[in-house]
């Protein structure tokens, strides 16, 4: 396996910065399932990372916190769960680093304003038609 976790086309994190912990998986299983450490937890310390620049570090801490964690326990084997945990960790980091596009303020078009006022007028007419007729003297 590679010695780096690829986040996107521009960013890779060395596997040395990711702590992998193995523990017993929860849930039902066979005779062997409850005694093997097949659950894998991948932990990435954002503050201690040298792969991220200051802007990326600040964005990631603001969105996910100082520590990003991913867990996998679906597979029976530790190796497959390790792959799944690293993949999930990469997805979480990639989502946390996305820069949202800035919204450009817009105004409603003339036709949209006209349609809105027309709907308001029709609703008002409908409500007036529901009223009790005026008492004539």
pTM of the prediction? 0.70
Q: For the chain, how far is it from start to end, CA to CA, in angstroms?
A: 94
Domain 4-97 maps to which CATH number in 3.30.2030.30, 3.30.160.20, 3.40.718.10, 3.40.50.720? 3.30.160.20
What is the domain partition of the chain in residue ranges?
A: 4-97
Asked which of 20-34, 73-87, 105-119 is least confident by mean pLDDT, the reply is: 20-34
With 80 as the cut, is the pLDDT of residue 28 above it? no
Reported as a single tens digit per residue, the pLDDT across 66-77 is 999 999 988 888
């Amino acid at each position: 396996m590679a010695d780096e976790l690829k986040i996107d086309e521009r960013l890779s994190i060395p596997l040395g910065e990711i702590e992998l912990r193995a523990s017993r998986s929860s849930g039902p299983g066979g005779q062997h399932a409850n005694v093997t450490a097949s659950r894998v937890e991948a932990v990435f310390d954002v503050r201690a990372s040298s792969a991220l620049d200051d802007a990326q570090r600040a964005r990631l801490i603001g969105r996910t916190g100082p520590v990003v964690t991913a867990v996998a326990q679906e597979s029976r084997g530790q190796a497959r769960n390790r792959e799944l945990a690293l993949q999930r960790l990469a997805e979480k980091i990639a989502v946390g680093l996305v820069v949202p596009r800035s919204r450009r303020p817009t105004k409603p078009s003339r036709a949209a304003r006209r349609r809105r006022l027309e709907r308001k007028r029709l609703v008002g007419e409908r409500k007036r038609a529901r009223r009790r007729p005026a008492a004539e003297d």
